[in-house]
Structure 1
């Protein structure tokens, strides 16, 4: 295990590496409101054959935040700063939700930096007006006030009932984030519009969606897969954090997809 910080133009991003340093690199990018620990269900399996590079999104976990709204390009350039800090010219990539939106930007604008990419629970467009109420709620309620609204969007009711320990851990992670960082990343959602460019993607893509996802509805995952030539699609019996709700199927699908490029 190796820990360090990647420096961007204005903040430092926390990075952790696991696995053999000489193995093929795999960069993991977290969802809005979580940190690198969201990938714990996959870590051991991924690290068996990969140099796993996880980082906390700007304003999340141990990464620093900047004030104001962010956009998808800023967050994608943060990911490139992680690539550079790790000394990685090209890597496979797996991102979920906001991390998946970042992965789309990279596949469109920096395809030479990616080998194969997994985009989970992320659509290609969010109307800016749909984000305005969320931004107001962040300022009005704070993270403590929002957490009970967020969890039902992350998981199905059955999973919440069966796994109270997982839910409590994620609530703790959510509350520990920077409010400015969460606000900035939430604002970035309103800048997502890859409708015109997504058809140009030539990077091999695996799209993973959740059949019960209220945030990225199934048709949004299906649309992404349809518009990227040669993309594969897997729909899981899960809500938004599909890698946690269906860890075995998620892990197996990602490893099988990555193996086809090795």
Structure 2
């Protein structure tokens, strides 16, 4: 087993993945060890060379009986990186791990190329953490195990996975009390909030919609406001996304850390070209409403449509817009795609892209080649739209 020894303390670490992939250091929350990342590792190892570390006081690392500090834990991380042969790397940390990541970026900036701050904060309730430190010193970790796991996982996830709940509670109850209390003291005493403006690497702030420990408001919002250029990723998770939402978390990390500026610039250019065609054909009002309705779930799909359909196809020189509009009307009527049919009928008539007589001829042709039932519905849908447009003009 690989260990780094710093100031007489053994720190366990695990290096995995192909050496030709970008390095990523993974740091854990209080009360967990490097296995926290197990559910995400298949996805991470396809993109990164990963270094996982058991924080001082956790897992296979030593647990000296003293108060730890974030500066101490950041120095531990830097020492392990050196032993692992990683000069500079992206750092992803959950909760306490995120606090360590920020401290590392401030104290050892040459080590850090990017940050992923996952369900973490730059300031916590010091009194609450002081009380937890005192409880653990007096009674051990057993009395806080259920409370801690209750904050780690969302109720719905916990109900589906009682085995994970039991395993986490048992691990915390068995953890070295001095190690847990030492790490809790580091959270109690952290001094990060006023230094965040000095962080100048690409940063992703990840929050969980069900996280009651470090929710977006106020914890994530403070990080986003203070770190220049920080981006936000919201996940359907509680406090431990590597457990509850590993695939979505991996996708977010890959988006931040595997970005290709040249490719991104090309994609942006294609999107803007498609957006111009989309506005010309459908009108600014409709496009603005569509863009405003994008969500994290469908944004990539909307971008793909704009780049491919509206740039690559609607931008081709072989047909004029009128012909393309009528082709779309005929095809969508034939396939029964009435939402798209109605959109193109309405915009085509409203923008004088074609006439009612031309629309009628297309639908007559559709009746022969796609069937009378399809044309029957198309005439009904188009008739309703024509009546609405005439009513608005008369009104």
Cα distance per residue 1:55-87 (max 9 Å; x no partner): 101010100011111111011111111111101
Q: 2:137, 2:178 within 8 Å by CA — same for their partners in 1?
A: no
The runs of 5 or more residues in structure 1 that have no matched partner are none
Q: Which residue of 2 aligns with 1:185?
A: 183
The runs of 5 or more residues in structure 2 that have no matched partner are 262-395
2:237 and 2:47 map into 1 onto residues whose CA distance is 26
Q: 1:65, 1:178 within 8 Å by CA — same for their partners in 2?
A: yes
Q: CA deviation at 1:127?
A: 4.0
Residue correspondences, number: 260
TM-score, normalised relative to structure 2: 0.63
Cα distance per residue 1:193-224 (max 9 Å; x no partner): 21221012101100101122221122111210
Q: Which residue of 2 aligns with 1:112?
A: 110
What SS class does the counterpart of residue 151 from structure 1 fall into?
A: helix
Which structure's residues are more often strand, by fraction?
Answer: 1
Q: Which residue of 2 aligns with 1:138?
A: 136
**Larger RCO (alpha carbons 8 Å, 6+ apart):** 1
The runs of at least 4 aligned residues of structure 1 exceeding 6 Å deviation read none
1:93 has 2:91 as partner: yes
Q: 2:124, 2:187 within 8 Å by CA — same for their partners in 1?
A: yes
Q: 1:5, 1:13 within 8 Å by CA — same for their partners in 2?
A: yes
Q: CA deviation at 1:169?
A: 2.2
TM-score, normalised relative to structure 1: 0.94
The range that moved more, 129-138 or 225-234, is 129-138
2:124 and 2:204 map into 1 onto residues whose CA distance is 21
Q: Which residue of 2 aligns with 1:243?
A: 242
The range that moved more, 28-37 or 236-245, is 236-245
1:98 and 1:206 map into 2 onto residues whose CA distance is 16
1:14 counterpart (12, 18, 39): 12
CA RMSD between the two structures? 1.5
Q: Which residue of 2 aligns with 1:171?
A: 169
1:174 and 1:54 map into 2 onto residues whose CA distance is 19
2:46 and 2:237 map into 1 onto residues whose CA distance is 26
1:35 and 1:129 map into 2 onto residues whose CA distance is 25
Q: 2:47, 2:254 within 8 Å by CA — same for their partners in 1?
A: no
What SS class does the counterpart of residue 52 from structure 2 fall into?
A: strand
Q: Which residue of 1 aligns with 2:68?
A: 70
Q: Which residue of 2 aligns with 1:38?
A: 36
Q: CA deviation at 1:173?
A: 2.6
